[in-house]
Structure 1
Amino acid sequence: MRNIDINSRRLSSTFDLYHSMNHVLQEFSNLPPIKDSMNRKNEVVRRKYGQSIF
């Protein structure tokens, strides 16, 4: 809860929201993890933007 209070006064983007929701789903869900995106050469495309608020 401390992190949420600190981060409530910071600017965030849709990328941050994506990583935050992904973090919540990984911690508190029984769903399988989100698969990495792949390009045409079957190489993993990293999600390099955004940061979880947790």
Structure 2
Amino acid sequence: MRELDHHAIENLGIPGMVLMENAARSFSDLLEKEILSKRPQDLVVICCGKGNNGGD
């Protein structure tokens, strides 16, 4: 993952923040489509660390 991030940032000019925003948006869309739409009464908890660990 780190190598892909590095390639996207250095060779394609995509800022790291944009990569993380896209990953978060994709996860959110998937969560809504696959879980929340089918079980809207369920509680979802998302735990996030301090970052810089290839999170996307």
TM-score in same-fold range (> 0.5) = no
Normalising by structure 2, we get a TM-score of 0.30
Q: Answer with 1 or 2: which has the greater Rg.
A: 2
Bigger share in strand:
1
Bigger share in helix:
2
Normalising by structure 1, we get a TM-score of 0.31
